[in-house]
Amino acid sequence: MKELQAAEKFCKEIISHFKKEIKAIWVLTVEKGKEVTLTILLDDLNVNKLRKYKIERFVKQVEKKILKEDSIAIHAGFYELSKYFENVMKGNLVMFSEIRNSQPLYDPTGFFTPLKPLIEEGEIIGTRESLLKLIHNVKGRLAKIDMLKLEVLENLYSAVVSAGQAPLIAMNYPAPVPKEVSKQLKKHFVNQKGWLNVESINTCEEIISTFKDFEHKRKVDISGKELDELVKKSKVFISRMEHLVSKIHQEE
């Protein structure tokens, strides 16, 4: 690509005369067959005003030379190292946008080059990449919350099924499968003995059906409030099963 070749030629010419004063050079924009925009990073700790003036004059001369020899217009701007570093520390988004779209030509100390991957990886706060990373992280946290909700619901399901089976086993009935627990409790302890209220049966059915809806993807979300209500109902249900088992043993 002749534009970049012209830029590299320009870079070598400048570096051959002012290597100590120049920290980095990078390409900002390329217009095919016409021009290249560059930025030169000057180490202002080693460049006084007179030296800077000489560099700027020399850069203009090389620009004219490249235009004459290669028919490519080079437009070079300048950053001073101290100002550039200040912009980095302040999180200047315009500057980071510039870095994102640029291409390093000369960076012997590795000052400029590491910034580009940091931007691309979303490590610079306020950039588009950092916002996308933030959204991705939020989605990840939400997914983790959903997994925790499902885990809590699964534990409630297991606890309610086990608690509901306990009084049936205590009465020497075979332990029913989960979906039959509420039916058997209703049959033996609501209808026959009157030792249990319908509310307990409803709680058992609600928790088992809610978990099954999640398991079979019929339900994809549950609010924290809903989950909290189920936890409270489960505690009441388990307490009633404990009392029911105690009552059975007392009747023997």
Backbone angles phi, psi at 247, to 5 degrees: -65, -40
Q: Which residue has the tokens 């235009």?
A: 67
pLDDT 10s digits, 129-145: 555 555 555 555 656 66
Residues 159 and 230 in one domain: yes
Question: 5 vs 147, which has greater pLDDT?
Answer: 5
**Of 95, 126, 157, which residue sits at a domain end?**
126
pLDDT 10s digits, 177-208: 988 999 999 999 888 888 989 999 999 999 99
Contact 160, 208 (CB under 8 A): yes
Print burial letters for 179-193: b (CB count within 10 Å at least 16), e (below 16): eebbebbbebbbeee
Which of 27-41, 61-75, 95-109, 110-124 is least confident? 110-124
Output the domain CATH number for residue 8: 3.30.460.10
Q: Terminus-to-terminus CA distance in the chain, angstroms?
A: 95
Q: How confident is the model at residue 99 (pLDDT cuts 50, 70, 90)?
A: low
Q: How far apart, in Å, are the Cα atoms of 135 and each of 116, 129, 139? A: 21, 10, 6
pLDDT 10s digits, 223-247: 878 888 988 999 999 999 899 898 8
**pLDDT score recorded for residue 118:** 56
Taking the C-alpha atoms of residue 207 and residue 33, their distance in angstroms, rounded to an integer, is: 71
Torsion of CA 106, 109, 112, 113, to 10 degrees: 80
**pLDDT score recorded for residue 126:** 47
Residues 191 and 108 in one domain: no
Q: How confident is the model at residue 83 (pLDDT cuts 50, 70, 90)?
A: confident
Residues 122 and 150 in one domain: no
Does residue 137 fall inside a structural domain? no
Residues 108 and 29 in one domain: yes
Residues 96 and 61 in one domain: yes
**pLDDT score recorded for residue 131:** 53
Overall number of domains in the chain: 2
Mapping DSSP to helix (H, G, I), strand (E, B) and coil, where does residue 58 land? helix
**Of 79, 97, 126, which residue sits at a domain end?**
126
**pLDDT score recorded for residue 137:** 59
pLDDT 10s digits, 2-48: 888 888 888 888 888 888 888 888 887 778 878 888 888 888 777 78
Host domain of residue 215:
145-251
